[in-house]
Amino acid sequence: MTDLAAEITSQRLRRARSSWSLLLRVLAAGLLLCQVIIWYQPQTPLLAVLDQFAIQLAGLAVLAAVCALLSRRWLCLVLLAALAATLSWPIFAERGEAATVTDPARLKVLSVNLWHSAAGHQRTIDALLASDADVMGLIEVTPAWRAVLGPLFAKYPYQVECFDRDPECLTMLLSKVPIEKSFAGRIWKATPIVASGEILWQGRPVTVLAAHWFRPVVTSADSRWGAKDPKRAAYMAEGLPLSRQAGQAGLLAKYLNRQPRDLILMGDLNSVPWSRVQRAFRARTGLDNQAGWSSSWPSFLPWPLRLPIDHILARGHLVVTKFSTGPETDSDHFPVVAEIGWRD
């Protein structure tokens, strides 16, 4: 009877090891397929979106590699370790060091997606007031949000928006200092809708602009606001996904390159720094964030599962010297805060 029990236990252990080994092999094969798709750089938005999840895929590869090590599955371990390295490389390649500037003055800029589905408002209002930012960009400013922004308007009397002219205008720029040469609306009669203006900071003119890009999985044909510029595809790097987001990025790049050189762009760009669309956009416009990035969405998930899709970028004499997420609010996005310095 004892021998029979031992044999049953042994069989169960063998089956468990076999199942565990099969699970590791399937996981390794799935991650390898994801890496191949990312390397292939597909134009189909649903496949191209995989590169946005490099953090999560690399983290999964690391956990699986640890399991392979503990279970002594050496071939799986080697493959998973290699996948963890290759999947995480784009992340580390986009990590920069904050620039050093001699001028001690800093312009504090905040960007937040208020979220059209927010159940409350007060926590967000309190956080924005406490931030004491000089300029802020608000995304998804629905009619419900507009009705409760009075306390912000008292502290930020200078505003740029187009709510009365376009029902899809949900972007707003607020400032403590006067805004000149303001504009709010569609660029090239298409999207994205932007809110922009010129402020005078330390006696220097600075252009500040807020924008919101489509999600990366929306194809070009899904938007009734098709681009009117037939050359937009050639304005950015070739081989980008056939997404509405890539079209918006191309239009915005062309628009920004006709604006003054000293410029700050903020907003929910719905793309991570290492995505093909954003890398092409930054290369075409000269915009950058040398202080790095911070995961901002969705706020209800722990850090390893969030994506850095909210950004504040600068160019010209302007440079981001510090960048971080703000406190949790009523939104599904964390606000992002940057300190901008001036370099000669």
Q: Is residue 223 very low, low, confident or very high in pLDDT (cuts 50, 70, 90)?
A: very low
Record the tokens describing residue 258, joined without a space.
């006709």
Spell out the long-range contacts of 144-150 with Cβ–Cβ below 8 A and sequence spacing 24 or more: 145/114, 145/118, 145/121, 148/121, 149/125
- How much is the pLDDT for 47? 93
Quick one: what percent of the chain has pLDDT higher than 70?
88
Q: What average pLDDT does this structure show over 334-340?
A: 97
The answer to whether 242 and 222 are in contact (CB under 8 A) is no
Both tokens assigned to 320: 């981001």
Give the dihedral of Cα atoms 73, 76, 79, 81; nearest 10 deg.
Answer: -60
In 3D, which of 111, 216, 229, 215 has the Cα closest to residue 173? 111
What is the homologous superfamily of the domain 107-342 according to CATH?
Endonuclease/exonuclease/phosphatase (3.60.10.10)
The pair of structure tokens assigned to 22 is 């099969």
CA distance 83 to 69: 15
Mean pLDDT across 1-14 = 56
Q: What is the pLDDT of residues 16-43, one digit of tens each?
A: 555 667 788 889 999 999 999 999 999 8
Q: Is the pLDDT of residue 98 over 50?
A: yes
pLDDT at 224 over 50: no
* Domain range list for the chain: 2-93, 107-342
pLDDT beyond 70 at 234: no
Residue recorded with tokens 């390649």: 93
pLDDT of 221 over the 70 cut: no
pLDDT interval class at 13 (50, 70, 90): low
Please tell me whether the overall predicted TM-score, pTM, comes out greater than 0.95 for this model.
Answer: no
pLDDT at 338: 97
pLDDT for the residue 238:
74
Distances (CA, A) of 88 to 3, 38, 59: 49, 12, 8
Checking DSSP bridges between strand 263-268 and strand 310-315, what pairing results, if any?
antiparallel
The pLDDT-based confidence of 325 (bands split at 50, 70, 90) is very high
Task: Quote the percentage of the chain above a pLDDT of 90.
Answer: 71
Q: Which pLDDT does position 75 carry in this prediction? A: 87
Residue 188's alpha-carbon distances to 145, 148, 185, 205, 342, in angstroms, are 27, 32, 10, 24, 31
Q: CB within 8 A of 33, min separation 6: which ones?
A: none
pLDDT of 76 above 90? no
* pLDDT tens-place string over residues 154-179: 999 999 999 999 999 999 999 999 99
Give CA separation, 203 vs 99, 199, 291, 292, 316, in Å.
22, 9, 25, 28, 16
Confidence at 82, pLDDT banded by 50, 70, 90: very high
Residue of 73 and 185 predicted with greater confidence: 185
- Any idea which residue has 């928006």 for tokens? 161
Above 50 in pLDDT, residue 262?
A: yes
The helix (H) or strand (E) run that includes residue 278 is: helix 276-285
Tell me which residue of 260, 328, 257 sits closest to 297, measured CA to CA: 328
pLDDT of residue 233: 53
Question: To which residue do tokens 């995480």 refer?
Answer: 88
Find out whether 311 and 304 touch, Cβ atoms under 8 Å.
no
- 229 vs 237: CA distance, rounded Å: 16
Residues 53-57, mean pLDDT to the nearest whole number: 94
DSSP symbol at 100: P
Element (H, E) at 7: helix 2-40
Confidence of residue 226 (pLDDT cuts 50, 70, 90): very low
- pLDDT at position 265, please? 98
How many angstroms separate the CA atoms of 226 and 68, rounded?
Answer: 49
C-alpha–C-alpha distance, residues 272 and 76, integer Å = 29
* 232 pLDDT higher than 60: no
* pLDDT at residue 225, as a whole number: 40
Please state, in angstroms and rounded to a whole number, the distance separating the CA atoms of residues 344 and 338: 19
Mean pLDDT, rounded, of the chain: 88
